[in-house]
Amino acid sequence: MRARDNFNFTHTIFLLLGGVALLFIFAPLAGMFLSVNAPNLFDAATDKVVGNSIIRTLIISFAATIISALFAIPLAYILARKKFPFKGVIEAIVDLPIVIPHSAAGIAILGLISRDSALGSLASSFGLNLVGSPFAIALAMAFVSIPFLINSARDGFAAVPTRLEQAAETLGASRISTFMKISLPLAGRSVVSGLLLMFARGMSEFGAIVIVAYHPMTTPVLIFDRFNSFGLAYARPVAVIFVTVTLILFIALRIYQKKRW
């Protein structure tokens, strides 16, 4: 009742404008779901290539997120807590993957792992080719999505009062113990949000991956491949299945996150 009383004319206008934004997100997805052909959807759902690509996408994105977290979370903490020269430059570097075209990101990563690079030639000496490998996919996913984790975790750490960390120190806790027992749990919600965002962003990446590893196919690449080779009718069911799987996964993870934090 109280909320209704507070809903004034301005809020109504905002609601209408916001509704357009919401419709803009929802309408194309709803259209895609409604126009999918049932036999094609069944074929795609039972297609091993589709299933394998979804599993591959989820596993590689998950691995990329977890491994990146080992480096991203400490950086986020330093950015939240410390003042140092060129901090602004470092923050700008963190945001670079968001602003550069992802095809360009793919080219950059290709340069890092191609056979004539230091990393690529090292892998070659062990008989490995990094280009076209799950490792290349993970690198591409991590590159484009790591800013989401760093920025979210940094905001989370910044919101933890330094007083609590000082209190922990006066109670005998080491710096690492203070971080693990005080800072990280209190920033937990933001860190987990960042992990989820990174995981989601990595999973949906296409532009950078298609350059470093067309094969083995992740689902976004498979959707593109089906569209390019067979047309919309064959690409759409794969897209519908992938969107459904990711939606279920993220709703479940969000519910868990809300319960836990």
Partner 1 sequence: MVKLTDILFRADDFTLGPITVELETGGYYAVFGPSGSGKSMLLEIIAGLRIPESGKVIIDNTDYTRISARKRPVGMLFQDYALFPHMTVFENIAFPLRVSRLNDQAIKITAGALAEQFFISGLLSRSISGLSGGERQRVALARALAHEPSVLLLDEPLSALDEELREEASKTLGILKKDGQTVIHVTHNRNEVTDLATRCYKMSAGKLALID
SS3 132: coil
**Interface pick for partner 1 out of 11, 87, 115, 181 (rule CB under 8 A):** 181
Token code pair at residue 66? 């977890």
Q: How far is the CB of 163 from partner 1 (least distance, A)?
A: 5
Q: How far is the CB of 96 from partner 1 (least distance, A)?
A: 34
SS3 174: coil
165 or 205: CB nearest partner 1: 165
Token code pair at residue 163? 């007083």
Q: How far is the CB of 50 from partner 1 (least distance, A)?
A: 42
Q: Does 174 bind partner 1 (CB under 8 A)?
A: yes
CA distance 253 to 257: 6
For partner 1, which stretch binds (CB under 8 A), given 40-48, 57-65, 103-111, 172-180?
A: 172-180
Sign of torsion over alpha carbons 43, 48, 50, 51 = positive
Token code pair at residue 20? 């357009």
**Interface pick for partner 1 out of 48, 163, 259, 260 (rule CB under 8 A):** 163
Counted residue by residue, the chain has a size of 261
**Interface pick for partner 1 out of 6, 8, 46, 170 (rule CB under 8 A):** 170
Q: What's at 79, amino acid-wise?
A: L
Residue with tokens 């836990």: 260
SS3 214: coil
Q: Does 169 bind partner 1 (CB under 8 A)?
A: yes
Q: Does 182 bind partner 1 (CB under 8 A)?
A: yes
Q: How far is the CB of 151 from partner 1 (least distance, A)?
A: 23
CA distance 188 to 113: 34
**Interface pick for partner 1 out of 41, 100, 173, 243 (rule CB under 8 A):** 173
Q: Does 161 bind partner 1 (CB under 8 A)?
A: yes
The answer to whether residues 151 and 193 touch, using CB atoms and an 8 Å cutoff, is: no
Token code pair at residue 13? 């206008």
**Interface pick for partner 1 out of 172, 215, 228, 258 (rule CB under 8 A):** 172
Q: How far is the CB of 159 from partner 1 (least distance, A)?
A: 12
Q: Does 159 bind partner 1 (CB under 8 A)?
A: no
Alpha-carbon radius of gyration of the chain: 22
Sign of torsion over alpha carbons 211, 214, 219, 225 = positive
35 or 174: CB nearest partner 1: 174
Q: Does 12 bind partner 1 (CB under 8 A)?
A: no
88 or 172: CB nearest partner 1: 172
14 or 256: CB nearest partner 1: 256
Q: Which DSSP symbol is given to 133?
A: S
**Interface pick for partner 1 out of 186, 209, 217, 221 (rule CB under 8 A):** 186
CA distance 248 to 255: 11
User: Interface with partner 1 by CB under 8 A: which residues?
Assistant: 161, 163-164, 166-174, 177, 181-182, 185-186
